[in-house]
Amino acid sequence: MTTVKELETYAQNTWCPGCGNFGILNSIKKVLADLTEEGLDLNKLVLASGIGCHAKIVDYIKVNSFYSIHGRVPPPITGIKLANPDLVVIGHAGDGDAYGEGIEHLIFSAKRNIDVTFIVHNNRVYGLTTGQFTPTSPAGFKGRSTPGGSPEEPLNPIELMLSSGATFVARGFSGKPKHLQFLMKAAVKHQGFAFIDVLQPCFTFFNTYDFYNKRVYELTDKAHDSSDREAAFTRAREWSYGEGERIPIGIFYQARRPTYDEKLLAGRIPVNLKPGNIKSILEKHI
Amino acid sequence: MKEISILIGGKAGDGIRQAGQTLSRLLNRNGYRIFFYDDYPSLIRGGHNFSIIRASKKKILAHKEKVDLIVALNQDAIEKHKHRLNSGGVILYDSKKVEAQGVGVDFMGLVKELEGAPIMRNTAAMGALAKVLNIEWPVLEKVMMDTIEKEVDLNIKIAQLAYNQVEKAWFSVPNLNQKMLPLVSGNEAIALGAVQAGLNMYIAYPMTPASAILHYLAEHEDDLGVVTIHPESEIGVALMALGAAYAGAKTMVGTSGGGFALMTEALSLSGQGEFPIVFVMVQRPGPSTGVPTYTMQGDLSFVINSGHGEFAKVVLAPGDAEEAFYLTGLAMNLAWKFQIPCFVLSDKHLSESIFSFDADPDKVKSEDPLLWDGQGEYKRYLDTQNGISPLAFPGNPAAMVKATSYEHDEYGITTEESDQIVRMQQKRLRKKKTMEDELSLHDQVKVYGDPESKTVLLCWGSTKGSCIEVAEELGLKVVQPLVLEPLPIKPLREVLSDADKIIDVEVNATGQLAKLLSAHGICIDDMILRFDGRPFTVDLLLEKVKEVLS
């Protein structure tokens, strides 16, 4: 087993004090440490990230990692999983990353049901580029590119992922780490595309601590049947990333459906494949 | 006959390419060397398609404008091509659809008589054609049995009926008793070269004229031991490939100019993260959508300069199917040896033409990259003398593999320190020197024709075939660089040093190779450029070269 302490690297953490990313970093480290107790081999784990404040997370955790580029976390993690399906793959992305620049990849990951976990650090603002509106910023958001207020309505990623075919759709809050760890653990164990939208305040550019603390509530098994896709849509529409009184967090939907890697590879492991005999193929060309 | 050229023309949906391929096989089985050119517009039904099949006793890599025989399935095939007919040439035509002089056969009537499908008109044409060429019936029957997948018996009956309708043979293509060679397109050769060098995964989004690589590998996945994937976009393709390479799979992607434009972001990532990857770039006329199903050598400058930032890459430009096979194998091995992006720069003319293929498969081997020996602590970006850091892959019980798009230290953790930035950039660029030393062991520049001639036809890629024949006819020398990045300037200077006149021959509008060489102080005296989407044919280029020399 591995302890949380052993997962630390020498990289200096450069997030702002009070950043919501700390809640996510601590949670994922705790989950990874816990999972090693349950038999997860960390050498077979790959963590990936995009570009933005969230992405520094791969520098801070002592595991295999792929620090990708903006918007492009789903394609490399899909490639990694397909090349070697024995690996356990977790992608981290920001909201600008996942819902803006790379939204096509996210939709296709859900549609295919590739067996990876995808955690969005959704602070609803561009932090590293110093405060512009993102696809999930509320309408009227005054950012540096929209001083008069954002003219766009926010996207609801929970609804988007449900309609795209994701088989695990959840929302967490970085301010509720225990609950977030429960979601992360369930997501990593899920077979198929596991998506978590993590609400995360940006202390410097969009401080939403109080807003979320007043509104989030946990979905319980009693109140919500996560195998019911229609019920999941209804819950998803309870809050559309603007104003609102109640924000549900928890697992909206979970189902088992054959994964992309299972269907596409049918048992093959590409990194172990041996090339075929081209001479017999060439004979057919005569 | 030592040589014969046949044009088959009809509308899209008439099965022109298929008929051309059957004819190529027929002539191949009589020992002829084949070059097959396919000309088609970007549509599914209608329009005008034609194929030219040139068969010769000697090896050929190009076709001619002029033909000996036209097979016309529609009137366009006559109107658009009758000027191509050599004296003594013959037209074989569908007598109910086409007005012409020559050998008329009611192809559709024969198909109807045997209750075949309309597409089988091309089968009837094949039957009649075999007789016109005086090919023994069993040869055609065998080819049909080997190649037709659906309703073989019916097709054979239709062909036989048509064969017997033609009263006499007009040509003679007797068996030359030469070894029969596989008929392989440029795209197929690229696919096979990659497989031979250990390809595990081929990832591509459909784009003409590169799509056939995807189709071919997908069709033969199990036989070739390859996994093929068709993702959401070229951006997805290239990034997925880098992920696969990181995990240890030998991966190749293929596209044309517009698709490659979308991949350039991932190309730079492969430069920074040192991910081995092979890009197949099959050019077509641009800018933008351009002319999708025709040919151009217009992306040379784009490809060699592609990607933001400074990093090493290799660009190889094969000129025929055999070179496509060898150089794709080389690209894969270099990509992994140096952990860099390597390009196979093709074009529609090379990729979709079919060649008699006489490559030795055993000359391409899957070479092992430099793997970590497991000693000490693993550093993905270990700073070494030759710049190459040993590879390990996730799953290795002793290594933590951190790959990144950011500037980084040896472990792969982000850095913005000035000394680290300089150190890692120098490490990566040091690989370039190591790679150039390795490339110097390979054929980087080829010379054909009369090596003593002081007049040089300079060409690259698919223009090679026509240049060689013209040079042989006129006693000139041909110089063809196979490596375009890093430009093999020393061997180029050696073969060009005593030239009085260098004529640059390219299928583009600005002479991109000429510009490249000029930048290195090699002066080009004349340029022969074609940029209407069509390749240089032997006879057309001969005229142009004669004009320049006169």
- Write out pLDDT tens, residues A77-93: 999 999 999 999 999 99
CB B207 within 8 A of CB B256: yes
Beta-carbon contacts below 8 Å between A and B: 195
Query: Which of A2, A8, A164, A281 to probe by mutation at the B interface, max B CB count within 10 Å?
Result: A281
pLDDT at A197 exceeding the cut of 80: yes
Nearest-Cα distance to chain B for A77, in Å, is 6
User: Which among A79, A281, A284 is the nearest to B244, CB-wise?
Assistant: A79
- Local structure of residue A100 (DSSP, 8 states): I
Single-letter residue type at A271: V
The torsion region of residue B198 among left (phi > 0), alpha (psi -120 to 50) and beta comes to: left
Q: Is the peptide bond before B486 cis (omega within 30 degrees of 0)?
A: yes
Helix (H, G, I), strand (E, B) or coil at B234: helix
Question: Alpha-carbon dihedral of residues B131, B137, B140, B142, nearest 10 degrees?
Answer: 180
Q: What's the pLDDT score for residue B2?
A: 86
Q: What's the pLDDT score for residue B42?
A: 86
Residue with tokens 């090339």: A275
Kindly report, residue by residue over B73-97, the tens digit of the pLDDT: 999 999 999 999 999 999 999 999 9
Q: What whole-number distance in Å separates Cα of residue A181 and Cα of residue A171?
A: 12
In B367-490, at which residue ranges do the beta strands (DSSP E only) sit? Answer: 402-404, 445-449, 455-458, 477-481, 483-485
B210: phi then psi, degrees, rounded to nearest 5: -100, -15
Give B180-218 as a DSSP string. P--EEEHHHHHHHHHHHTT--EEEE---TTTHHHHHHHH
User: Which among B227, B265, B402 is the nearest to A64, CB-wise?
Assistant: B402
Helix (H, G, I), strand (E, B) or coil at B127: helix
Question: Alpha-carbon dihedral of residues B341, B345, B350, B352, nearest 10 degrees?
Answer: 60
Search chain B and give the residue with CA nearest A73. Answer: B239
- Local structure of residue A54 (DSSP, 8 states): G
Contact flag B269-A69 (C-beta cutoff 8 Å): yes
Counting beta carbons within 10 angstroms of the beta carbon of residue B436, is it exposed (0 to 12), middle (13 to 18) or buried (19 or more)? middle
Q: What whole-number distance in Å separates Cα of residue B509 and Cα of residue B405?
A: 36
Q: What whole-number distance in Å separates Cα of residue B463 and Cα of residue B535?
A: 7
* Chain A residues close to B244, C-beta within 8 Å: 79-80, 82-83, 270
CB A65 within 8 A of CB B402: yes
Sign (positive or negative) of CA dihedral A25, A99, A18, A238? negative
Counting beta carbons within 10 angstroms of the beta carbon of residue A103, is it exposed (0 to 12), middle (13 to 18) or buried (19 or more)? middle
Single-letter residue type at B258: G
A108 close contact with B: CB closer than 8 A: yes
Q: What is the number of other CB atoms lying within 10 angstroms of the CB of residue A81?
A: 26
Contact flag A108-B239 (C-beta cutoff 8 Å): no
Per the structure block, which two tokens stand in for B197? 């060098």
Contact flag B180-A286 (C-beta cutoff 8 Å): yes
Average pLDDT, chain B: 97
CB B462 within 8 A of CB B532: no
Element (H, E) at A62: none
Q: What's the pLDDT score for residue B469?
A: 98
* Chain A residues close to B188, C-beta within 8 Å: 285
B347: phi then psi, degrees, rounded to nearest 5: -150, 170
Mean pLDDT for A61-82 is: 98
Nearest-Cα distance to chain B for A95, in Å, is 18
CB A155 within 8 A of CB A135: yes
Residue with the larger pLDDT of the pair A245 and A168: A168
Among B333, B328, B353, which Cα is nearest to B343's?
B328
Give B481-494 as a DSSP string. ESEEES--HHHHHH
Kindly report, residue by residue over B32-67, the tens digit of the pLDDT: 999 999 999 988 887 899 999 999 999 999 999 999
Ranges of chain B with pLDDT below 70: none
CB B491 within 8 A of CB B445: yes
Among B389, B388, B371, which Cα is nearest to B380's?
B389
> B501: which strand partners?
B455
- Local structure of residue B225 (DSSP, 8 states): T
Q: What's the pLDDT score for residue B185?
A: 98
A271 close contact with B: CB closer than 8 A: yes
Kindly report, residue by residue over A95-140, the tens digit of the pLDDT: 999 999 999 999 999 999 999 999 999 999 998 898 999 999 999 9
Q: Which long-range contacts (CB under 8 A, 24 or more apart) does B79-88 make?
A: B80/B9, B80/B48, B80/B50, B81/B7, B81/B9, B81/B50, B84/B7
Q: What whole-number distance in Å separates Cα of residue B483 and Cα of residue B473?
A: 27
Q: What whole-number distance in Å separates Cα of residue A168 and Cα of residue A158?
A: 10
Q: What whole-number distance in Å separates Cα of residue B168 and Cα of residue B420?
A: 80
Q: What whole-number distance in Å separates Cα of residue A216 and Cα of residue A212?
A: 6
The contacts of residue A133 (CB under 8 Å, 6+ apart) are A125, A126, A141, A143, A145, A146, A150, A152
Contact flag B229-A82 (C-beta cutoff 8 Å): yes
Among A214, A219, A218, which Cα is nearest to A245's?
A214
